[in-house]
Amino acid sequence: MGSEKPKNSTLRLLTFSFLRKNHEFSVASLASKFSARSFGSSRTFRSTSSTSRPWSRVSRRIWKDSTLENSYQCIKTAWPVPIIEALFLPEFKIDLTKKHNFEVINVISRGAFGKVYRVMNNDSQEYFALKVLSKSKVLRDNYVSQVKDEVKIQSMCGHHPFIISSPQYWQDRRKLFIVSPYVEGGDLFDLSEKYGALPEELVKIYVAELGSALDFLHNAGVIYRDLKAENILLDSDGHVVLIDFGLSKWLKYGNRTNTLCGTLQYMAPEIFFLNGYGHAVDWWALGTLTVYLLTTKQRRLPVHDS
């Protein structure tokens, strides 16, 4: 019996050497294998060092070179970004320092989710409009998809001469930032309030330019849904610039939607009565706007007579 122990010990040593030589039995190899597979699922995942890793799993932290050269770095886990940041990706890239590139001059306007500032770029000395939105307020009103659509529509359609562009947009931990060109001529509402009814020849120009912008949006698969005097700015040459795409939506031409939104005075009946509507509601709003510019009178709603 006493001679069996050395034999067993020798056998175990030989077995261990064989496994290590032929199967690369090591802590690093085990970690590499298990890091590529979930214990609770048969679905495989790329390791944390993969350059093609999805954005939803990428950490904001950048690993140091010394970490990447470590042979055991494969057992490290890149934590996902916080949910309040992941919800706005990939449209709003995470940048904690870009806001410092702009100097705030004054507040232009205030809205339900934040403020719009007139700012100056510290490098180019150019003026821009910077919309700053509170993430908590956007989430409270379930407005995430709308704000993501807003920046995508402006960035993709902003090359039209009568549509505002959005060259930069990003997020930090608490805010969303949207940069647009600063349009200095004021809006049509202020113009009408100051001068009253506008000349018909001038209104024709405004309506033609707005019609060009709406037709462009519709052909791009966008319904605007908030055409009103307050959302139309005038540039330094007197041309219109359509702004504020917060209620806009991707909608294939000919399709219909049924969301109740917009401004009552400019709202088409099919929106108000929830009958389902398409791009034609923007043309209704343009007609209502035309009457206002020519007469300074707002459309009378049925509720005014009740």
pLDDT of 302: 57
pLDDT tens sequence across 279-301 = 999 999 999 999 999 999 887 66
Mean pLDDT within 9-25: 52
Distance of alpha carbon 171 from alpha carbon 135, whole angstroms: 9
Are 201 and 291 contained in the same domain?
yes
Annotation says 226 is catalytic: yes
What is the rounded CA–CA span in Å between residue 84 and residue 98?
A: 19
- pLDDT score at 253: 86
Partners of residue 180 on adjacent β-strands: 129
The least confident of 7-16, 47-56, 189-198, 248-257 is: 47-56
Grade residue 51 by pLDDT with cuts at 50, 70 and 90: very low
The mean pLDDT of 22-35, rounded to a whole number, is: 45
**Residues 283 and 214 sit within 8 Å (Cβ to Cβ):** yes
Residue 281 lies in a domain: yes
Question: For residue range 55-96, what is the model confidence (pLDDT) as tens digits?
Answer: 444 444 444 444 445 555 544 545 578 888 999 999 999 999
Asked whether residue 175 falls in the same domain as residue 195, the answer is no
Q: What is the pLDDT of residue 165?
A: 95
User: What pLDDT score was predicted for residue 79?
Assistant: 57
Does some domain include residue 239? yes
Asked if 274 and 242 touch (Cβ cutoff 8 Å), the reply is no
pLDDT(11) > 70: no
Residue where a domain stops, chosen among 181, 201, 226: 181
C-alpha–C-alpha distance, residues 281 and 256, integer Å: 11
Structural domain contains residue 47: no
User: Phi, psi at residue 90, to the nearest 5°?
Assistant: -90, -5
- CB neighbour list of residue 213: distance below 8 Å, 6 or more residues apart: 160, 162, 163, 240, 242
Same-domain status, 269 and 166 = no
Q: Say yes or no: 243 and 152 in one domain.
A: no
**pLDDT score at 77:** 47
Query: For residue 303, what pLDDT band results from cuts at 50, 70 and 90?
Result: low
Q: Active-site residue among 95, 123, 172, 226? A: 226
Based on the fold, state whether residues 170 and 244 are members of the same structural domain. Answer: no
Q: What is the CATH number of the domain that holds 131?
A: 3.30.200.20
CB atoms near residue 185 (< 10 Å): 16
What domain count does the chain have?
2
The verdict on residue 152 lying in a domain is yes
Mean pLDDT taken over the chain: 81
Are residues 194 and 284 both part of a single domain? yes
Residue at which a domain ends, from 181, 196, 223: 181
Of 134, 152, 181, which marks where a domain is finished? 181
Q: Which of 75-79, 86-90, 125-129, 175-179 shows the lowest mean pLDDT across its residues?
A: 75-79
CA distance 170 to 174: 11
Q: Is 74 in contact with 98 (CB distance < 8 Å)? A: no
- The parent domain of residue 149 ranges over 93-181
pLDDT at position 271 over 70: yes
Containing H/E element for 133? strand 127-134
